[in-house]
Structure 1
Amino acid sequence: MDVIVNYLFESAVILGFLTAFYRLVMHYEPTFKFNRFYLLSALLLATVVPLISFSIYRTMVPEGEVYVGNVLETITVYAQNTKAVVVPVVAQSAAFKWLYIIGCGGLMLRLLYGFIRLGGLAGQVNLVNFKGYKVADLPGQFNPFSFFNVVFVNQSRYSDEELEQIMIHELTHVRLKHSWDVLLLELLLIVQWFNPFAWFLRSLLKELHEFQADQQVLEKGYSAKSYKELLLFQATGARLLPVNNFNQSLTKKRFTMMKKDNIQKIFSLKSVFAIVTLSMVAVLFACELRDVPPELTQEESEMKEAIENSNAQLKSGTGEVFFIVEKMPEFPGKEQGLREYIAKKVKYPSEAQAAGAFGRSYITFIIGDDGYVKNVEVARSSGHTILDDEAVRVVSSMPQWKPGKQRGRAVNVSFTIPINFSLNGGDDIKEQRAENAKKYSPEEQAQMIEEYKEKGVDIVFGDDGSIATITVNKKGNATPVAN
């Protein structure tokens, strides 16, 4: 039901916008062929565009994504000194569902009744051929009308000259296939019966049909005066002269259009404006803008995860903590001094070296308003507790910093520092990242799981076939692979 309601909503909006544009810009322009094209295009767009969807993708960081934090430059420690409404509410309404079905059913019965009534009228008379078309001479007081290739008229009500004008008028409807327009609009009304713009479009197109047929009568050489007298007779049933205070709405509009200067057809720029409007509506309603998060490198992905974990840890703590302040905290010896301190103090655990353990630990900590380090935690693990513990030990042992200040007041400031543990100058980490990016078949995954298990290593694969996690288990001290 959601899909149906969404379709009806978009269709109603498109139809409303294009109909309003026509009424304000094109309505009284004597470019009848183009006006008909516009109205039928509006009908087509309102019917088809909600069914079409194409996406335009733009790369950007999604709104609300947490990617804020103070990440210091990576410090690498070498072993042995080596190198990501309305619609649902309406759709769930049972009252709307039944009301809509009743409305559609009522208009469908109305259309069927119209067909049956026309068939009954046609069956009461003999149809006479006239210039390849059929004419039904019916008794009674009604205005002549046509339906597809049949013209219905009471010939006894009109003079020969009036009948000539009537036939020109009605055969124009037949020749231009106006009945198809009417039928399409009736089908639209069945679906969009609740939309006032659908009913308005119906009256506008019916009005335009009359303008086109009137134009043909005048172009055949009949005077506007005599033709207006005929229209007045059809509207009132009396032989009247066309006077200024005549107020039959449609007939009065038809009189007005007879006075329009046809030169406007050639030079009007409104037609171009209308085409642009149709095109823009089609594109804007069919187009869907989608945001695609940028693809991150392995290092960026790790950093993003570490920052988010750090932020989550801060939220669970107490006290006010800043990321950026007017005067940032300062390590004794500044940034270079911090790097030298970490590199000097971190000792690559011998057990980790023997097991071949390597990886990158992201450690988050706070420089308090007193300058001392506190709340030291692992934001993202290297995959090996022994390495993480060493990184936490060293960061916790850092000497007092010069505290950060905000508006002259000493405050708490959060930092995250990545510490690499590498066995051969960092090549091991690069090689492992390249291996992690590979995609393995189910057969290859099964074989690798067995091989790694024999070495005392647990390996887990992701849904895409790439390596998700690899950790050293308690059974052995074989070479692990860092995430």
Structure 2
Amino acid sequence: MIPYTLYVAIIIAAFLVFYKTLLQNETFFRLNRYMLLTCMTLAFVLPLIPVPQQFSFRQPPPNLTIPHISTLTPKEDISSTQTDFTLPNVETEVSQTVNKDLFVHWLIYLYWFGVIIFGFNFLLQIVLLLFKAYSKSAILDGKFRIVEIPEDKAPCSFANTIFINPEKYDWETYNQVLQHEKIHIQEKHTFDLLLTELMLIFQWFNPFAWQWRKELESNLEYFTDALMLQKDDIRKEHYQMSLLKVAAPHFPLSLTTNYNQSLLKKRLIMMNSKKSNVHTTWKYFFLLPVIALLICSFNEPFRQNQVNLSTTNVDAKNEVENGLKNTGYWFGTIKNDKVNIHFKNEDDEESNNSSGTTFLVSELGMLPQDKQGTFTVKREAGTMEFTGRFEGNKGMGNYKFLPNKSYLDDMKKEGIDLNTDEDLLVFFMININESYVHMLKKNGFKNLHKDDLIPLAALKVDEAYISSIRMAGLNDLKPGDLIPLKSMNIDKKYIEEIRNSGYKDVTADKLITLKSMDIDGKYIADYKSTNKHRTDGITSNQVNNRTNDGSDEDDDIIAFKSMDIDKSYINSIKESGYANVSNSDLIAIKSMGITQEYIKSIKNSGYPNIEMDDLIAVKSLNLSPEYIKSIKNAGYPNIDIDDLIAMSSLNINAGYISSYKNAGYGQIDVNDMIALKSLDITSELMQQYEELGFKDLDIQEVISAKSTGTTPAFIKSMREKGHNLKSLEKYITLKTVIEN
């Protein structure tokens, strides 16, 4: 928990620096809002995303996954036969470990204490706000609830409730305050604040998190101010004066949107600042490399194919992870020439979980049958003493592991640090000999780690295997490469098969990928054969465009295999009229579910020569033959495919088209129809212009009016001020002059 929490804190700090450096002064307040909310959520999600090893700045964990084995707990108390044993010269190390663990535990307790306190405060605020909102009578104004309060506090809102003291303000100020708070409610700003408070519960120790809340609250106020100033009945100077009247030092609860005196100066500056140019939106895209850097820096790396070891030789590692100690219980089963023995700690008597490993009967010597006795297993890492008895093929008793100190010293000389008895115990269980380490070093693996040795020995990666894959051309290998290669049964035969299929310089990582996808030499040969037939009869440039359009051939093979793009699918696309389709387009259309039947249905809808790019666009919009037919029947029988795609992307349907016809506007040009919809112009809006006296409206004038903000409300306000102009075009000009 502590590392994860710190990673979240670092990510929040990085995002905050990014925001304050590049985005804080931009007037894209809505975009900033989404950016702040998204980044706050990403801060908690990003550390959980594993990253491929080749992109990570961290070392990957050992690729080891061990199954658990459940057995019954022995009930016989045989602890009296155990003897004490202490590994010499480890007192200082143990003391340091205990002190470190104690410090970490206290940090964890302190962290969760803070979480509880801030969580309780969060719940208390919600309860108080709900009580305040519903314990008093309220004025209902549509979906808004206005609660009048006697306290001398700044107005605020929570959910759909506005808290205000009406006696403090004149009518104009009171009305503007209500409009301001209604915008907070309409835009659901309470959600932003609740999410931020939840973030602070788990990041209460992080000063950057508190600053994050401050920036989010500021942006919400900037955003609300901007929306207020867009209203035709709001004048900037009057609104700013009302802010000065309302701002008060008596702050309400932090879960509410409220007037904040300390923020007032910044709000006035932002209201009078020049609007950001749309060309500065490029700054937001710089967030992507920041996210990539954070993921590669802090996230847990994983190998492309992790090893799942279920062999009994590696069960010992599971025992250590489960906390298996040097002393405890054993119970076993004899089967043929092997004995499967399960181990259990003395302090786990109430648990039903245990783990085991398998020994040869010859290793154990004479087993005590029907009477108490002892037997031992001696290996280089130490000696395992068993006390107990067998009855038939079942036995139980207690065990004692005696580490071999000289083995510990020998491993240290080889550069293998075994710091605990548990390390020695797992080396004993897997039976890692000093000669095995020498063999690996002789074969070029000089910098060995215990976490590499364990899976290598468990998988029985021997000198013969290493030599065979090197003979097949894999020379530049690391211990971490041998583990997935052996676990996936990648041998000399498979490597040569892949090389003979055309991959002369194939790497270990690529082999692992190919094997994991069940790609063999035959599949590659079939792919190349099909690809060759597709290139017959076309120019070399077309071939290059098809096979080298942004991805290597081996990546295409992997993609083809993963998406089940086979010869029959390729032929079906070819029969549909696309003989020269590129690999990337094949991958795209397969991923989108484009079939021969779908292509036929689109072509039969009036587009027999539709190009592949348009076909992909049509499918991505889920554009059906029924939709095409409805648009054609609505008055566009010869509509171009590009216009059809544009209509679909804007959700223009037959009903929308008919609304204009029913309002008396006849057949509107397809480009004008697209422009009307893109500006959200409805037939009702056009009727509002007609009601103002503008008859025989020109579509282009309406489009210009909407794009410049020359709304019916604006025209009415201008007429009230004496500007009785004769044409809509003149009002558009007036609006442009006022804006500039």
TM-score by length of 2: 0.33
More strand by share: 1
Higher relative contact order (CA 8 A, sep 6+): 1
TM-score by length of 1: 0.50
